[in-house]
């Protein structure tokens, strides 16, 4: 699910803000907004921002430029990954690529560099030395995707801002579990707390985003800000461990899940079931690189049963034991395709230390594209079973972060959130969506 120096951008008077456009169908693969800049009124921010633009379907993506002269790239925004990387070899499955041979500012990282020897410590697979004595990295993800190639430096460009010497992976081999979706992007932008993540290299103390559920847009900002219209955020501290554990991702945005409610019914589970065990398995990660939310088996089963109980009179279960949506979501429903829409559904609240993340009823079911049963559409429950994916963690995906202002405060080791109409937030920021 992820520098020679930090770029001390605190001396510059702006914050990055990326507009999001959300790709809900394969036919809209070219619907990526260009980068744009928006000036702010003096005094409206403690550290005035600057903006870009961003997209999502199963992933959130941003378009920017890399190299000298600039080459346009499209990257997945992933708070669950550290190293940013680009496909550096064009193939039938990776038609979008960056060509290092055409960039005069591209510099590979030697394997003797301290970057390769010490700053890759949080990689699942240790970096190594290739035959050319360059730093070689292999990155693997929970969905069975993997990429490998060399670490390098190059300039990343956001309209009139140039970030020189950003460390990234120039990948020439990959194995994908979703080639059609991955063919639409050039790479990935790692935004976790690791030393090589993009946000760490930028030197910003925090970033925030807000994803709309209505018009496929949203906004993301890097840096300090203060908006009078933003409601107070609930803050939950990041979980830290002092001793490295084999199954615990130390640089993820890990929060402590303490319980789950369906409407006002709290699932009858002990708090200990939500806590990492002695190996570190069972942490709860806030991950923009994952679409839906996944729970460990016993918790998923309890939630599934309570949701079934509360909706038995308004929803009709899709009875097909051989159908499991995306390999981990086994609760689906038949909904009349007459255009009447979904019935009123109970909300689900994820109770984290310091607050509750509310998932309203309409966001609990997701229409399966291209699948019908007679005149009925098929909708699936948007919580899945981590056990079916083979991952030992709770993961809060971006679908359940829609219409929620999400703040990742690296300086204070916490995540903040508040319910916000994200389309309205973008308008207040003066962004033309």
Q: CA–CA separation, 366 vs 399, rounded Å?
A: 10
The pLDDT, as a whole number, for residue 176 is 63
Tell me the helices (H) and strands (E) count for the chain, helix number first: 6, 29
Q: How many CB atoms lie within 10 A of CB 10?
A: 14
> How many angstroms separate the most distant Cα atoms in the chain?
65
CB-based contact 364:345 (threshold 8 Å): yes
- Tokens 């949701």 correspond to 307
Whether the Cβ atoms of residue 351 and residue 387 lie closer than 8 Å to each other: no
Quick check: helix, strand or coil at residue 285? strand
Return the H-helix or E-strand segment holding 182. Answer: helix 179-182
Question: SS3 for 116?
Answer: helix
**What's the rounded Cα separation, in Å, for the pair 308 and 341?**
19
Catalytic site residues?
78, 287
Do 73 and 89 form a contact (C-beta atoms < 8 A)?
no
Return the residue matching tokens 């002092």: 242
Instruction: Count CA atoms closer than 13 A to 119's CA, side-chain side.
Output: 24
Pairing of strands 161-175, 146-158: antiparallel
Quick one: pLDDT at residue 252?
Answer: 95
Answer whether 142's CB lies under 8 Å from 389's CB. Answer: yes
Query: What is the model's pLDDT at position 95?
Result: 82
Q: How far apart, in whole angstroms, are the C-alpha atoms of residue 65 and residue 260?
A: 42
Residue 26: what pLDDT? Answer: 27
Q: Is 393 exposed, middle or buried (0-12, 13-18, 19+ CB in 10 A)?
A: buried
Residue 97: per-residue pLDDT: 92
For 69-160, where are the E strands, in sequence order?
A: 71-78, 85-87, 107-108, 128-129, 135-140, 146-158
Identify which of 180, 165, 171 has the alpha carbon closest to the alpha carbon of residue 73. 171
DSSP designation for 162: E
3-state secondary structure of 227: coil
pLDDT tens track of the chain, all 433 residues?
A: 533 222 332 323 233 444 444 333 222 322 222 222 222 232 333 333 334 434 444 567 778 899 999 999 988 889 999 999 999 988 777 788 999 999 999 999 999 999 998 888 878 888 999 999 999 999 987 767 789 999 999 999 876 778 999 999 999 987 765 666 667 789 999 999 999 999 999 888 998 888 888 755 667 788 888 888 999 999 999 998 888 899 999 999 999 999 999 999 999 999 999 999 999 999 999 999 888 999 999 999 999 999 999 999 999 999 998 899 988 899 999 999 877 789 999 999 999 999 999 999 999 999 998 899 999 999 999 999 999 988 999 999 999 999 999 999 999 999 999 999 988 877 777 665 4
What is the pTM for the complete model shown?
0.85
Give the CA-trace dihedral at 380, 384, 387, 388, to 10 degrees. Answer: 30
């Amino acid at each position: 699910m992820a520098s020679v120096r930090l770029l001390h951008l605190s001396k510059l008077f702006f914050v990055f803000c990326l507009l999001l456009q959300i790709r809900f169908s394969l036919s809209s693969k070219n619907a990526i907004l260009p980068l744009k800049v928006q000036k702010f009124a003096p005094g409206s921010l403690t550290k005035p921002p600057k903006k870009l633009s961003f997209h999502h379907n199963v992933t959130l993506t941003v378009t920017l430029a890399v190299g000298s002269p600039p080459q346009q790239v499209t990257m997945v925004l992933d708070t669950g990954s550290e190293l940013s990387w680009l496909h550096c070899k064009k193939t039938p499955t990776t038609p979008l690529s960056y060509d290092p041979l055409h960039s005069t500012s591209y510099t590979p990282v030697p394997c003797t560099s301290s970057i390769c020897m010490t700053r890759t410590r949080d990689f699942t697979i240790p970096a190594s030395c290739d035959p050319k004595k360059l730093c070689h990295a292999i990155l693997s993800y929970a969905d069975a995707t993997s990429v490998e190639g060399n670490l390098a430096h190059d300039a990343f460009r956001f309209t009139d801002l140039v970030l020189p010497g950003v460390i990234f992976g120039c990948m020439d081999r990959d194995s994908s579990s979703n080639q059609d979706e991955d063919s639409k992007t050039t790479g990935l932008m790692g935004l976790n707390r690791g030393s090589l993540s993009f946000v760490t290299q930028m030197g910003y103390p925090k970033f925030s985003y807000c994803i709309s559920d209505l018009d496929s847009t949203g906004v993301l900002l890097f840096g300090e800000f203060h908006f009078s219209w933003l409601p107070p955020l609930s803050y939950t501290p990041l979980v830290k461990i002092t001793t490295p554990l084999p199954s615990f991702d130390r640089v993820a945005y890990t929060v402590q899940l303490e319980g789950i409610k369906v409407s006002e019914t709290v699932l009858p589970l002990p708090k200990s079931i939500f806590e990492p065990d002695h190996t570190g398995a069972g942490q709860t990660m806030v991950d923009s690189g994952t679409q839906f939310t996944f729970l460990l088996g016993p918790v998923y089963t309890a939630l599934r049963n309570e949701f079934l109980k509360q909706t038995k009179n308004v929803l009709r279960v899709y009875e097909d034991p051989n159908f499991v949506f995306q390999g981990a979501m086994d609760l689906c429903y038949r909904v009349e395709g007459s255009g009447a829409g979904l019935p009123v559904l109970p909300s689900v609240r994820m109770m984290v230390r310091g607050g509750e993340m509310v998932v309203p009823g309409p966001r609990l079911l997701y229409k399966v594209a291209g699948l019908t049963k007679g005149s009925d559409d098929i909708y699936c429950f948007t919580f899945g079973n981590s056990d079916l994916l083979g991952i030992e963690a709770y993961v809060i995906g971006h679908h359940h972060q829609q219409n929620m202002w999400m703040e990742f405060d690296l300086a204070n080791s916490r995540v903040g959130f508040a319910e916000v109409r994200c389309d309205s937030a973008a308008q207040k920021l003066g962004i033309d969506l």
